[in-house]
Structure 1
Amino acid sequence: MQTRGSPHRPVPFPFLQLDLGGELSAARRARQELRGCCRHLGVDEDACDVVLLLSSELVTNAVLHGAPPVHLDAGFDGARVHLAVSDADPHHPVERAWDPTALGGRGVQLLRDLSEAWGVDVHADGKTVWCRVRLRS
């Protein structure tokens, strides 16, 4: 895991900022908004699917294991989509041992496997978990 020390690092070229509260429906709302943005920006379907999956993981983890309010920032620099999800709990996400029968616990592994880079910024108001998804050239 990569951890950076710059709190509240803004995403480059932001195109979406959502205050998601702390409701279980937050991940669905984030996916719906991001899907439309990806289409508008011309992000290919495969990359959009990865963006939607990782945003869903980040938001769901913030709702289930963090503390409200939950906030999503997304940015696009032409080569990557940048995602950052903030919540009020300063504790880092925990990578769990692989269990094929478990219903959850794969969020950190998905971040590691599907993003170009990811990390956690801890700040006075909680934490921000961020990742970058590289688009095909």
Structure 2
Amino acid sequence: MRAGVSPDSVPAADALLITSELVTNAIRHGGGITHFHAALADDALHLAVSDPNPDHPSAHPTAHGRPGGYGWPLIQLLAERVDITPLPDGGKTITAIQRLKTADPT
């Protein structure tokens, strides 16, 4: 893998989950994806997903047996940093940074 991380490692699985949740939330709650960007820098994955909805995400308990409500808390738990930036057109960009390598203990 280009980032030097095995595709079957925990950091790779976390990166896939963060990406999936950001994209799913933009589609389900944000009115669709207006921008997507992923880049590797400083041993971390930098993700940016934009949507036209200005509302910030929030954790919602599962309602009446309907699945869901766990994506935003998972993103916050797994990502090293999460930022929400309002856009001039009324939408928002959510940027998440997830470290792909752990610090060398030596």
TM-score range, shorter chain: 0.7 to 0.9
Instruction: Tell me how far apart the structure 2 counterparts of residues 69 and 53 of structure 1 sit (CA, whole Å).
Output: 17
Tell me by how many angstroms 1:98 deviates. Answer: 6.9
TM-score, normalised to structure 2's length?
A: 0.80
2:10 aligned partner:
46
Tell me by how many angstroms 1:114 deviates. Answer: 0.7
Residue 86 of structure 2 is aligned to residue 122 of structure 1 = yes
Where in structure 2 are the equivalents of 1:1-137 lying within 5 Å?
A: 39-44=1-6, 45-97=9-61, 103-125=67-89, 126-135=91-100, 136-137=102-103
Instruction: Tell me how far apart the structure 2 counterparts of residues 113 and 120 of structure 1 sit (CA, whole Å).
Output: 15
Asked whether the equivalents of residues 59 and 70 of structure 1 are also in contact (C-alpha less than 8 Å), the reply is no
Asked whether the equivalents of residues 63 and 70 of structure 1 are also in contact (C-alpha less than 8 Å), the reply is no
Instruction: Tell me how far apart the structure 1 counterparts of residues 79 and 62 of structure 2 sit (CA, whole Å).
Output: 19
Going from structure 1 to structure 2, the CA distance change for 1:131 and 1:69 (only over 3 Å counts) comes to: closer
Instruction: Tell me how far apart the structure 2 counterparts of residues 96 and 106 of structure 1 sit (CA, whole Å).
Output: 8
Going from structure 1 to structure 2, the CA distance change for 1:85 and 1:119 (only over 3 Å counts) comes to: same
TM-score, normalised to structure 1's length?
A: 0.63
- For structure 2, the 5+ residue unaligned runs are none
Instruction: Tell me how far apart the structure 2 counterparts of residues 106 and 112 of structure 1 sit (CA, whole Å).
Output: 10
Tell me by how many angstroms 1:79 deviates. Answer: 2.0
Instruction: Tell me how far apart the structure 2 counterparts of residues 119 and 98 of structure 1 sit (CA, whole Å).
Output: 24
Higher helix proportion (structure 1 or 2): 1
Instruction: Tell me how far apart the structure 2 counterparts of residues 69 and 116 of structure 1 sit (CA, whole Å).
Output: 23
Instruction: Tell me how far apart the structure 2 counterparts of residues 81 and 96 of structure 1 sit (CA, whole Å).
Output: 26
Instruction: Tell me how far apart the structure 2 counterparts of residues 102 and 50 of structure 1 sit (CA, whole Å).
Output: 24
Tell me by how many angstroms 1:68 deviates. Answer: 3.1
Instruction: Tell me how far apart the structure 2 counterparts of residues 93 and 47 of structure 1 sit (CA, whole Å).
Output: 24
Instruction: Tell me how far apart the structure 2 counterparts of residues 130 and 81 of structure 1 sit (CA, whole Å).
Output: 10
Identity of aligned residues (%): 37
